[in-house]
Amino acid sequence: MSAATLRIDSHQHFWLRERGDYLWLRDDCEVLKPLLRNFVPRDLAPLLDAHRIEQTILVQAAATSDETDFLLQLADKHAFIGGVVGWVDLSAPDVAEQLALRNAQPKFKGIRPMLQDLADPHWIAQPTRLNALRHLQDLDLRLDALVRPHHLHALTQSLQYCPQLQAVINHAGKPQLGCSWDAAWADTWRRDMRSLASLPQTMCKFSGLLTEASQTASTSPAAAIAAVRPVWDALLEWFGPRRLMWGSDWPVLLLASDFDRWILVCETLIGELSPHEQTLIWAGNAQRFYGLQSSPTTLRSP
C-alpha cells in the first residue's frame, strides 16, 4: 500500500461515560441512544484498519480540563492518535498560563470551545476571549470552531482580530440540511462561510454532515450523497482542495450512518478530484494544519 492511499481522520471522539462530565449525553434523550455507551480506542481500531486510516485527531467532547487530561493520556498510549484538540476556559484569568502548560505536551494541538452550545452567538468576539485567542495565536496552537450558522459572523470578526491564528471550521459550520435550502439559515451560512473562506488562515472540515441532514439521507448511499453534495460543491468553490480536510466525526456519526457509508459518500465526492487533490483532503491538509509527524506504518495499541 502506497503512502498516498493512507488517510488521516481529522475529527473523532472517545469517551467514558462514568467520568461524568459529558453533560450533553443525556439518558432521557431517545435520539442519543446510540451514543449512550463508552467509546474507546479498541472500538475504533478495526475501522481505521479497514479504511486505511493511519492517524486521527482526537477532539474534546466535554468542556472540562479533566477530559482534556483523559484524551492526552489516551494519546500517549495509542500511536494512531496523532494529536489532541482539547478544551481551555477562554474566560479564565490564567488562560495564558493554562495554554502554555498544555503547549508543553507534544500531542496537544489546540482547543475547541463548544460555541454551538452558548446562547450568545457573539461570545467568541468579546474582549476577554479575543485576548485569549491572541495567546493561542502566539503559541502557534490551533482553533477548532464548533459553530452553527448564526455563530459564523462573530467567528469571522475574531479571526480578523487574530490574523495569524490558524483555525478550522468543524462540520462545515453545521448547515441545517434537515431544513429547506430556501430557509433563512442558508443565506446566513453561504454569506458567512464565504467570508471565512476569504481569510487565508481558515480551513474547513468535511465532517458531521449526515447528522445535520434529514432522515431520508440515511436511506441509501445515493440519498446521502445527494444531501451533502451542495455543501461539498460550495466548500470546494470557497476553500479549494488545499484547505479542506476529511473527518469522520465518529462516534457521533452513528446517529445518522455507519462508518462505511460515510466513507463511501466521501470516496464518491473526493474521488471526482485529481489524485493529488484527493491526497490533500484525505490526509495532507490535516497533517500540515496540525503539524503531525508522518509515520510509515500504522500502529495500533491493544
C-alpha to C-alpha distance for 197 and 167, rounded to whole angstroms: 11
Q: How many domains does the chain have?
A: 1
pLDDT over threshold 60, residue 1: no
C-alpha to C-alpha distance for 134 and 209, rounded to whole angstroms: 30
- Give the end-to-end CA distance of the chain in Å, rounded to a whole number: 23
Residue 296 lies in a domain: no
C-alpha to C-alpha distance for 222 and 227, rounded to whole angstroms: 9
Residue 297 lies in a domain: no
Find out whether 107 and 76 touch, Cβ atoms under 8 Å: yes
5: pLDDT confidence band, cut at 50, 70 and 90? low
Residue with cell 500531542: 107
Q: pTM for the full model? A: 0.95
Residue 295 lies in a domain: no
pLDDT in tens, 92-148: 999 999 999 999 999 999 999 999 989 899 999 999 999 999 999 999 999 999 999
pLDDT over threshold 90, residue 84: yes
C-alpha to C-alpha distance for 132 and 228, rounded to whole angstroms: 34
pLDDT over threshold 90, residue 21: yes
Nearest to 266, CA basis, from 57, 51, 81, 54: 51
pLDDT of residue 293: 85
295: pLDDT confidence band, cut at 50, 70 and 90? low
Nearest to 60, CA basis, from 193, 170, 209, 172: 170
Residue 204 lies in a domain: yes
- CA-based Rg of the chain, rounded to a whole angstrom? 18
Angle between helix 259-270 and helix 221-239 axes, rounded to 10 deg? 50
Q: What is the CATH number of the domain that holds 47?
A: 3.20.20.140
Residue 218 lies in a domain: yes
Of the ranges 181-185, 238-242, 276-280, which one carries the lowest mean pLDDT score?
181-185
Report in angstroms the alpha-carbon separations of 292 from 6, 57, 83, 252, 285: 14, 9, 7, 24, 10
3: pLDDT confidence band, cut at 50, 70 and 90? very low
Residue 13 lies in a domain: yes
The DSSP code for 15 is B
Residue 83 lies in a domain: yes
Residue type, 184: A
Range(s) of the domain holding residue 161: 3-290
C-alpha to C-alpha distance for 119 and 111, rounded to whole angstroms: 20
**What whole-number percentage of the chain has pLDDT above 70?**
96
Report in angstroms the alpha-carbon separations of 250 from 34, 146, 164, 296, 300: 12, 15, 30, 24, 17
Residue 31 lies in a domain: yes
Kindly state the average pLDDT of the residues 219-223: 91
| Half-sphere exposure at residue 249, Cβ-oriented, CA atoms within 13 angstroms | 23
And the C-alpha cell for 208?
Answer: 458531521
C-alpha to C-alpha distance for 244 and 239, rounded to whole angstroms: 7
Report in angstroms the alpha-carbon separations of 150 from 54, 170, 192, 244: 35, 14, 9, 21
pLDDT over threshold 90, residue 15: yes
pLDDT of residue 200: 97
pLDDT over threshold 80, residue 178: yes
| Half-sphere exposure at residue 35, Cβ-oriented, CA atoms within 13 angstroms | 25
C-alpha to C-alpha distance for 23 and 64, rounded to whole angstroms: 11
And the C-alpha cell for 272?
Answer: 471526482
